[in-house]
Amino acid sequence: MGAERPEDERAQVAAFARARDQVLARIAAAARRAGRDPDDVQLVAVSKTVPAERVRDAIAAGLTVLGENRVQEGEAKKAVAPGAAWHLVGPLQSNKARKAVETFDVIESVDSVGLAARLSRIALELGRAPLRVLLQVNVDDDPAKAGFGPGSVEAALPGLLELAGLRVDGLMTVGRLASSAAAARPTFVALRALSERLRSRHPRLGRELSMGMTDDFEVAVEEGATIVRVGRGLFGERG
Ligand SMILES: *Cc1c(COP(=O)(O)O)cnc(C)c1O
């Protein structure tokens, strides 16, 4: 990691601040279209593959909630880029669960009962409880995607809500690879409907809905997203 020259760093921070303002303005406009309060939507800046030095500049520009999809990458960046909260948004193998609990403030990608139980136990052991988690749901039942099926999350939920080490803040989904933002809308509608149905029976399930990425976050906000995960729209195309 080479040292940045101060003038380059200032320009980079200013560029991130502009990108952040633009994304926040688009979130706010989408929220207003749906009669929602823009403050009810949190922006997670997905910094996977972005070098730690640029992540530091992003934090300086106010992008203080970051998302990573690999435990080790998140751990390495967090060590040299302080001042942010970190969300894990990618698949978590059980042998990395302990490191994930040590590193991340929120684990958005809990996709099995076994993983949830393990995270709960580790969070209690480490004195990190309650650990905030989201349940990843494969609402489209896409065989290529991780996550609970809509039926299996319903069956598992009572047990998950009993885990003393976790606080289940809500649901997360990765939309289908859609050719247009509009094509992603049914996925978002389905996740919100599932959340409402589950919460009517299980009030302890939190109301967070993490859905929407660079190509479709405005549609997601219109359909009720409380967390959007934006990578390329802030950091540019990944190499
Ligand atoms: C990479 C990634 C994102 C961000 O995707 P962009 O298209 O770059 O906005 C969001 N969520 C998850 C789970 C990801 O892996």
Q: Tell me the per-residue pLDDT of 168-198, one tens digit each, with 9 for 90 and over.
A: 999 999 987 777 878 899 999 999 999 999 9
Question: Is pLDDT above 60 for 1?
Answer: no
Report residues whose beta carbon is within 6 angstroms of any ligand 1 atom: 46, 48, 69, 89-90, 174, 213-214, 229-233
CA 105 from chain centre, in angstroms, equals 11
Instruction: Report the alpha-carbon distance of residue 30 to residue 26 in Å, rounded.
Output: 6
Position in ligand 1 atom list of the atom nearest CA 232: 8
Cβ neighbours, 10 Å, residue 179: 9
Position in ligand 1 atom list of the atom nearest CA 44: 10
- Would strands 65-68 and 42-46 be described as parallel, antiparallel, or unpaired? parallel
Which pLDDT band, with edges at 50, 70 and 90, does 2 fall under? Answer: low
User: pLDDT at position 117, please?
Assistant: 98
Nearest CA, atom 12, ligand 1: 89
Average pLDDT value over all residues in the chain? 95
Nearest CA, atom 5, ligand 1: 231
Q: pLDDT, tens digit, for every residue of 20-46?
A: 999 999 999 999 999 999 999 999 999
Percentage helix, strand, coil for the chain under 3-state DSSP, each rounded to 5: 50, 15, 35
How much is the average pLDDT of 102-111?
98
Question: Is pLDDT above 90 for 83?
Answer: yes
**Mean pLDDT lowest among 15-19, 148-152, 178-182:** 178-182
Cβ neighbours, 10 Å, residue 7: 8
Structure tokens at 115: 């993983």
Per DSSP, 126 falls in state T
Position in ligand 1 atom list of the atom nearest CA 229: 10
Q: Which residue is it, tokens 């989201």?
A: 134
Q: Which of 42, 44, 69, 215 to mutate to test the pocket of ligand 1 (most atoms within 8 A of CB)?
A: 69
User: pLDDT at position 105, please?
Assistant: 98
User: pLDDT at position 239, please?
Assistant: 77
Per DSSP, 58 falls in state H
End-to-end CA distance of the chain: 17
Compute, in angstroms, the gap from residue 231 CA to the centroid of ligand 1.
6
Burial 196-223 (b: 16+ CB within 10 A, else e): eebbeeeeebbebbbbbbbbbbbbbbbb
Q: Considering only the C-alpha atoms of the chain, give the largest distance between any 2 of them, rounded to a whole number of Å.
A: 56
For the whole model, what pTM was predicted? Answer: 0.96
Position in ligand 1 atom list of the atom nearest CA 213: 9
Instruction: Report the alpha-carbon distance of residue 55 to residue 81 in Å, rounded.
Output: 7
